[in-house]
Homo-oligomer: A and B are copies of this chain.
């Protein structure tokens, strides 16, 4: 067994590459902008360039056991990204990303999974879920992703794509918001960082409520602005978190009817809101869930967010090759 693996967190905005040792330290990392490239081939070439200096830091490819990638719509069984709605170079077909990286890295073994599954692996190996057998990680970033663990195993389903909880339908009948996946009313269209920004724009354009959010041009509003405003007591911003948390709590109530997890673990940028988001999630969940499940599930924020959990989780796949 060689001493290092590479972990890759392929997100909607940034792709982070990390070299990880056998006890889970990220020795070196580097990143590129995910959407800057017109084709998957250009993305892979840029990724390999980005990897070179950090691979050299640990003595070259000869010291790397394998590579694991966490990516949206990643298929564990096939090593592909398939019809990833939020990737400019990946929404329109099947990208054999594991093979493409392997070919440019001297035949290095490369495995790939859903980015949120990688986060769940990180929680199970290094994080808050070390002692849990049944939990669900929900990632609140550019999109909404999920990694589901049942009986101590990641759920991949029959085709490797299970765990797309950002795409359950929360608003039915064709009245929901357009989602990047081509359908309407998905959880992701409301509760991702982009969904939160859309909620802000909706409130600001359909009401005349006072808010510091009006100081910025509407087109430039981001979830981070809502976070700052809410922390400063802005009532519109606080309402936005209440609405977001209410829907997340209702969605989690349905997820519990499925697998009755011990905990929901939230991960990603929106979680920096802390109790502003977690309190309405918990309240909505307890008010919505089937009575037999009340007051059982824990609602936690990942402790690994500053520690590259997604890179760590993905890197664990590198030991499997």
- Which of A's residues lie within 8 Å of B, judged by CB? 73, 82-83, 133-134, 148, 150-151, 153, 155-165, 167-172, 181-183, 250, 253-262, 288, 290-293, 296-297
Contact = CB atoms under 8 A, between A and B. Distances in A.
13 contacts: A134-B158, A151-B153, A155-B259, A160-B260, A162-B260, A163-B257, A163-B259, A164-B292, A167-B290, A168-B257, A181-B290, A181-B291, A258-B259
Closest 4 CB pairs of A and B: A157-B260, A162-B260, A158-B262, A164-B257
Nearest to A186: B290
Main secondary structure of the interface of A (DSSP, over half): loop
Contacts of A262: 158
A291 B83 contact: yes
A179 to B, nearest CB: 9
Given A155-B259, A259-B155, A259-B258, A293 B161 contact: yes
Given A258-B148, A291-B83, A157 B169 contact: no
Nearest to A170: B172
Contacts of A155: 150-151, 258-259
A291 B82 CA distance: 10
B257 A165 contact: yes
B258 A167 contact: no
Given A157-B134, A161-B260, A164-B257, A291 B182 contact: yes
A183 B293 CA distance: 13
A260 B172 contact: no
Contacts of A171: 172
Nearest to A263: B158
